[in-house]
C-alpha cells in the first residue's frame, strides 16, 4: 500500500507540473481503484465521491490523444464531462426534493451548517444568518441544481456558447460557496472539474469525459438510489448528497481512564470535542475517521453502531492496546495528554485501562463575529455548548475476550467467535495515515481497513480485547 501511495504521489506531481498523459491518468485510475476495491465492504470508502473520482479520472484518460499531446481535447469527452456535471447536480437536487421535507419547507439550512460532518469556523457565520436569508439559500440551491444546470447542455454555436459558459460558471461558483461553508472533503473541488468543460478556449480551457450506457442515471422514475454504482469498475454512477438534514448535532465523545474515576476525553483532528477548540479547516483533505464517527450522531445511535459503524469496537480495543498507528489518527495533543501520561511527560507513558463512549448534544455557541471579538479581547473563546445525551458504549476494560453488545455467545463457539473477529478485523481502521493518491488535482489520505489483517484467515486474533466493566 505504501508503494501504491508513493506511485500515486509521483504521478500526480507529474500531472500538476504539466506532464499530461493518458497513460499517467490510466495508472492513477488503476491505483485509486485498487485502494477503493481493497476497502470494499467497509464504511471507510463507501462515500459517493469515491465513485465520482473514479468516473472523472476514467474520463480524463481519453481527454487527449495518448500519442499526440498537442492535439486538441476530444469533443465527445468534453460533452461527457458536461453530462457528468448535469447528472451530479440533478441528482443532488432530486434527492433533496424527494428526501427530507425541510427542503420543500425551506428550513434545511437552518440546521445544516451546525449538523454537517465537520463544521469550519466559517460555518459559524452561515449558521447565524437570518433565517429568511437561509430559506432563500434553499431556493438558490434548488434553482442551481435543478434549473440552471440545464445550461451546461446547450450546444456552443454562436451566442449560445455564452449561455453554456454561464451555466458552467454557476455550477463552479456554487461549489466554491459550499466548500467555504464547511469541510466536505474533496467533494466540492471534484465537482468543479466537469463544470469547467463548459468553458471553451476563448474563456478558459479544460477537460473531458467518456460515454457509457446509462441505466436510469437521472432516476426520473421510481425510487432514487443515492450514490449508487452500476458495474464493478464504478464508471456509471448516480449522485446526490444531503437528501436528509438532521436538526440536532450529537457527537460521540470517547473517554479513557486509568482508575475509572477520572476520565479524559480524546480529541480528534477535526470533529468537535473540547468546547474552546477552534473548528478545523481541512478541505479538500478527508479525515475519514472523523467523518465516520459523525454518522453515530444520527438517531437511533445504537442502530448505527451495530450496523454501519461496527469498526468502533476494534478502534476502542486498539486505543486500550496503545497501538501507535491508531493513536496517530487522534489530534496531536492527545498523544501527550493525561490520557496517556497521567503523571506528566516525565512520569512515562501509561496505557489507559478503561474506555467509554457517550453521546453529547452540541450547539454552536455564538456567531463568528462575536467569537472573533472574544478571541481578540481574551485570547480564547467558546465555540460550542453541549449537554449530556445517552451513553453509547459503557465503560470497557481491556484484556478480555471480544464482547459485542446484543450478541450473546459462548467463547467455546469457535465459529461465531471467528465470524465476529473477522468482521472486526475487516472493519478495523488500521492503515498508514496520509497515504496520498490523486489525479494531479486532489489529495487522498488515510487508507482505512486495508492493513496486514486482510491477509489473515486465522481467528487467533479474536482475543484479547475487552469486556464490559460493571460500575
Span 1-46, pLDDT tens digits: 788 888 989 998 888 887 778 889 999 999 999 888 888 767 888 7
Q: Provide the grid cell at 229.
A: 454504482
The region of weakest confidence among 224-233, 387-396, 412-421 is 412-421
Integer CA distances (angstroms), 39 to 227, 425, 451, in order: 17, 12, 10
Span 285-344, pLDDT tens digits: 889 899 899 999 988 999 989 888 889 998 999 999 889 999 999 999 888 888 898 888
Q: Report the side by side order of strands in the sheet with 249-257.
A: 263-265, 249-257, 354-364, 384-400, 465-468
**What mean pLDDT, rounded, does the chain reach?**
78
- Is the per-residue pLDDT at 402 higher than 70? no
Q: Provide the grid cell at 101.
A: 421535507
- Between helix 2-16 and helix 22-38 the angle, nearest 10°, is 150
Q: What are phi and psi of 357, to 5 degrees?
A: -135, 125
Per the DSSP assignment, residues forming a β-bridge with 253 are 358
At a CB cut-off of 8 Å and minimum separation 6, what does 375 contact? 381
Span 189-211, pLDDT tens digits: 999 999 999 988 777 544 444 43
pTM score: 0.71
Span 431-471, pLDDT tens digits: 333 222 333 333 333 222 333 322 222 222 223 344 334 43
Q: Provide the grid cell at 271.
A: 470533529
Span 154-177, pLDDT tens digits: 998 888 989 999 999 999 999 999
Dihedral over Cα of 338, 339, 342, 348: its sign: negative
| Maximum mean pLDDT: which of 63-77, 180-194, 201-215, 218-232 | 180-194
Q: What is residue 312's predicted lDDT score, i.e. its pLDDT?
A: 92
The Cα–Cα gap between 122 and 367 comes to 9
- Is the per-residue pLDDT at 398 higher than 80? no
Q: What is residue 156's predicted lDDT score, i.e. its pLDDT?
A: 81
- Is the per-residue pLDDT at 391 higher than 70? yes
Q: What is residue 450's predicted lDDT score, i.e. its pLDDT?
A: 31
DSSP letter for 347, please.
G
Span 270-290, pLDDT tens digits: 999 999 999 998 888 889 899
Residue bearing cell 440533478:
90
pLDDT band at 185 (very low <50, low <70, confident <90, very high): confident
Average pLDDT score over residue span 419-431 = 33
Amino acid at each position: 500500500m505504501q508503494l501504491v501511495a508513493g506511485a500515486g504521489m509521483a504521478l500526480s506531481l507529474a500531472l500538476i507540473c504539466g506532464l499530461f498523459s493518458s497513460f499517467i491518468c490510466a495508472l492513477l485510475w488503476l491505483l485509486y481503484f485498487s485502494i477503493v476495491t481493497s476497502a470494499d465492504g467497509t464504511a471507510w470508502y463507501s462515500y459517493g465521491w469515491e465513485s465520482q473520482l473514479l468516473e472523472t479520472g476514467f474520463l480524463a484518460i481519453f481527454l487527449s490523444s495518448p500519442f499526440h499531446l498537442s492535439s486538441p481535447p476530444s469533443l465527445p469527452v468534453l460533452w461527457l464531462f458536461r453530462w457528468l456535471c448535469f447528472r451530479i447536480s440533478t441528482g443532488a437536487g432530486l434527492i433533496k426534493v424527494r428526501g427530507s421535507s425541510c427542503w420543500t419547507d425551506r428550513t434545511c439550512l437552518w440546521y445544516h451548517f451546525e449538523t454537517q460532518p465537520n463544521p469550519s469556523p466559517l460555518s459559524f457565520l452561515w449558521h447565524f444568518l437570518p433565517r429568511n436569508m437561509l430559506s432563500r439559500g434553499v431556493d438558490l440551491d434548488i434553482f442551481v441544481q435543478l434549473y440552471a444546470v440545464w445550461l451546461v447542455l446547450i450546444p456552443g454555436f454562436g451566442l449560445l456558447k455564452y449561455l453554456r459558459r454561464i451555466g458552467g460558471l454557476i455550477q463552479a461558483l456554487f461549489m466554491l460557496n459550499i466548500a467555504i461553508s464547511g469541510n466536505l472533503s474533496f467533494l466540492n473541488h471534484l465537482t468543479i472539474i466537469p463544470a469547467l468543460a463548459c468553458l471553451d478556449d476563448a474563456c478558459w480551457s479544460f477537460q473531458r469525459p467518456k460515454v457509457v450506457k446509462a441505466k436510469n442515471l437521472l432516476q426520473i422514475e421510481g425510487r432514487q438510489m443515492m450514490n449508487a454504482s452500476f458495474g464493478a469498475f464504478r464508471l456509471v454512477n448516480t449522485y446526490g448528497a444531503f437528501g436528509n438534514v438532521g436538526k440536532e448535532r450529537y457527537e460521540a465523545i470517547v473517554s479513557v481512564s486509568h482508575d475509572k474515576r477520572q476520565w479524559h476525553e480524546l480529541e480528534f483532528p477535526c470533529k468537535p470535542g473540547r468546547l474552546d477548540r477552534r473548528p478545523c479547516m481541512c478541505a479538500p483533505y478527508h479525515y475519514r475517521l472523523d467523518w465516520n464517527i459523525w454518522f453515530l450522531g444520527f438517531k437511533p445511535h445504537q442502530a448505527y453502531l451495530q450496523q454501519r459503524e461496527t469498526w468502533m469496537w476494534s478502534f476502542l480495543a486498539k486505543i486500550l492496546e496503545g497501538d501507535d498507528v491508531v493513536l496517530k489518527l487522534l489530534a496531536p495533543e492527545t498523544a501527550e495528554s493525561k490520557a496517556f501520561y497521567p503523571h506528566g511527560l516525565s512520569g512515562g507513558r501509561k496505557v489507559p485501562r478503561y474506555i467509554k463512549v457517550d453521546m453529547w448534544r452540541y450547539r454552536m455557541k455564538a456567531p463568528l463575529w462575536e467569537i472573533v471579538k472574544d478571541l481578540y479581547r481574551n485570547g480564547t473563546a467558546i465555540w460550542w455548548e453541549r449537554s449530556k445525551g445517552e451513553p453509547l458504549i459503557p465503560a470497557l476494560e481491556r484484556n478480555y475476550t471480544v464482547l459485542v453488545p446484543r450478541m450473546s455467545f459462548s467463547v467455546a463457539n469457535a465459529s461465531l467467535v471467528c465470524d465476529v473477529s473477522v468482521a472486526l478485523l475487516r472493519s478495523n481502521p488500521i492503515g498508514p495515515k496520509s497515504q496520498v493518491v490523486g489525479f494531479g488535482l486532489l489529495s487522498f489520505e488515510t487508507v482505512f481497513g486495508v492493513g496486514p489483517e486482510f491477509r489473515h484467515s486465522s481467528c487467533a486474533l479474536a482475543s484479547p480485547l475487552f469486556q464490559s466493566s460493571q460500575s
